[in-house]
Amino acid sequence: MHSTARLMIAASAVLALSLAGCSASSPDADDSGDADPVRFAVEKPDSLVPANQFTSYNIVIAMFSPLTAIDDAGEITYVAAESVESDDAKLWTITLRDGWTFHDGTPVTAQDYVDTWNHAAYGPNAWVNGAQLAGVVGYADLNPAEGAEPTATELAGLTVVDDLTFTVELDAPDRQFPLQLTAGQTGLYPLPSEALADIAAWEEAPVGNGPFALVDGWSDTDPIEAVAYEDYAGTEPNIGAVTFVPYLDTATAYTDALAGEVDIVAIAGSQVAQARTDFGEHVYELDAPGVDFLGFDLTDPRFADPRIRQAISMAIDREAINDAIFGGSQVPATSLTAPSMPGDPEGVCGEYCEFDPEAAQALLEEAGGFDGELAVHYIANWGQDDLFEAIANQLRQNLGIESVVATPSVDFAAFVDSVGAHEVNGPFRARWGALYPSQQNTLTAVYTATGEGNFGSGGYSNPEVDALLAEANAADTFEKSSEGYVKVQERILQDFPTVPLFGNRYLYVTSDRISELYTVSGSVDLTKVVTASAAS
C-alpha cells in the first residue's frame, strides 16, 4: 500500500530536485534574518524515523543530511560524504566527512550508517522505506517470500572499514548509485546507536545529523519547533529557526498564509491562477521530478492494441488543459520522465504526445474502433474533478466515442482496490515522483515488474526493457549510463503502456516575510530560504 500511495499522491513530500528551478541564484549563508521562526505548513507527520516515515518528509530532510547532492549544473556533489567511489559500479566505497555529529554531539560513524541500513532493510521491522536498500547484496535474505522467515539479520553487502569508511556491494553494477544517496531516499539517513536500541524512546525526542535540531520533542498535531544546529558541519542555514505547522487541508493553510500566520504553503496546480492574484510575486513554481500519466488495465482486451492507447494520447490537448486547469504551471509531457530530470529526452514520445484529433480518430479506426463506455478513473475529493472532466470531454469529442465518463472512486482505498482487482473500464490516474534525480528511478519503478510504481502502468513489463535498463545501469561512465535510459524510453514507447500527461512543477505560496525559495528532493530547502529582512 505504501508504494502505491507514493505513486498516486501528488504532495510535496515526493520529490523535487536540488537542481530545480528557483527564484534567483543560490545565496551565500549570511544573516539568519528575522528572529521569529519561519512557519512552514506541513502534512500531519506520521514518524520522524527517516526510514519509516511517509508524511513527515519535510521535517525529516531538515533534521537529517544526505551523503550526496546534485548542484545547479546537475553534477554530483558531496554533503555528509567525502567521496563515493567504485571501479566496477558494483562495489562502492563511501568515505564520510570527519567532524559530523548528531544533534546530541555524538560523532556520526560508518557503523551508524551500516547499523541503520541493516535495521531498515530487515523485513520484520516493516520500515516503509526499507526497500530503498533492495539493490544491496543480501536484501533478499532479509526479505524472503511471503510466509518464509529471514535467513539473516544483516545485509551481506555492507562492511565497515573504519570509523569513517564503509563499503556497499550491489547485486548488479549500478553507475547511478551516488544519486541514490541524495536527500529523497530518507531510508538511507543514519541514526545514532541508542536509537536502534530503543526506537520508541528515541523518537520521543529524536536527533539527526542535519541543519536543524528539534527544540523539545514533537507531536503530530502541535507546531514543531526546530533551530539551526550550531555545530552543523555542512553549509550554515540562512534562517535561524523554523516551526513546522501540521495541517489537515491546504485550504486552511492557504488562508493562514494570506493572513501572514504561516510563511510557506504548498498548493495544487488548480490553485495557481487564484494564487497569482492573491500572492503576486510570492508564488513559486519550481521544477520537480514528478510525472502524471494515465495507466490502463493491460489485461482488458479493449486496450490490448497499443494503437488504442496511442489514439487516446493524441486526442488529449495537454496545452489547453494546462492553461485552463493549471494556469500553465505544469509541463505537457513529451517523454516518460520529468523534463527537469538530467538527460530527459525531450520529444522522445514523438507524434503520440502531440495533439492531433484527426490522426487520433484514424488510428482508433485502424485498430478496430472502441465499443462501449470509456470511463476515466480518478480519486474523489483530491481537487482533480475539473482535470478529469476535461480529459473525458476531449476524448468524447476528439475520438467520437459516444460515452466517455469521468469516474471518481469514493476514496484512495477504493481506487486502489478497483485498479488492483481489474475492475476499471478505462484509463486511470497515475503518477510517480522520483525519489532521486535520475531517469533510472522512474523507469525502474513504473516499467518493471518489481518496481514500486508498477501499479500505475497496469503491471507492464518487457524483458527487452529490463535488459536495456541493466545495460544502462552498468555503463562505464555516469554520462553513458544516463544516455542509456534514452534507449529504455524508446523501447517502452514502442509498447506505449501509459499515456504521458504532465511533468510536474511544485507550487508554493509564501507570506511577505519570504524573499527567496528553493527546493531539494521534493520539498523546500530550508537552508536556502531567504527572508525579506535578510535580503534588504
Tens digits of residue pLDDT in 326-360: 999 999 999 999 998 989 999 999 999 999 999 99
Angle CA(457)–CA(463)–CA(468) in degrees, nearest 5?
A: 95
Give pLDDT tens digits for 435-458: 998 999 999 999 999 998 999 999
Q: What integer is the mean pLDDT of 489-499?
A: 98
Nearest to 322 by CA among 378, 248, 270, 264: 270
Q: List Cβ neighbours of 291 (8 Å cut-off, separation of 6 or more).
A: 333, 336, 337, 338, 431, 432, 442, 500, 501, 502, 503, 504
Do residues 519 and 19 touch, judged by C-beta distance below 8 A?
Answer: no
Residues 466 and 454: their CA atoms lie apart, in Å, by: 13
Question: For residue 160, is pLDDT > 90?
Answer: yes
User: What does the alpha-carbon distance between residue 445 and residue 15 come to, in Å, rounded to a whole number?
Assistant: 14
User: Which positions ≥6 away from 475 have C-beta within 8 Å?
Assistant: 89, 175, 481, 483, 484
CA distance linking residue 58 with residue 55, whole number of Å:
8
Quote the cell numbers at residue 507: 507550487
Does the reported pTM lie above 0.75?
Answer: yes
Show the 3-state SS of 304-364: CCHHHHHHHHHCCCHHHHHHHHHCCCCEECCCCCCCCCCCCCCCCCHHHHCCCHHHHHHHH
Query: What is the average pLDDT across 405-421?
Result: 91
Q: How far apart are CA 460 and CA 313, in angstroms?
A: 17
Distance (Å, whole) CA 493 – CA 487: 10
pLDDT greater than 90 at residue 254: yes
**pLDDT for 147:** 85
User: Is it the case that residue 29 has pLDDT exceeding 50?
Assistant: no
315: closest CA among 359, 349, 376?
359
- Cα–Cα distance between 92 and 58 in angstroms, integer? 29
Cα 182 to Cα 211: distance, rounded to the nearest angstrom:
15
* CA dist., res. 174 & res. 166, Å (int): 17
Least confident of 27-41, 61-75, 219-233, 242-256: 27-41
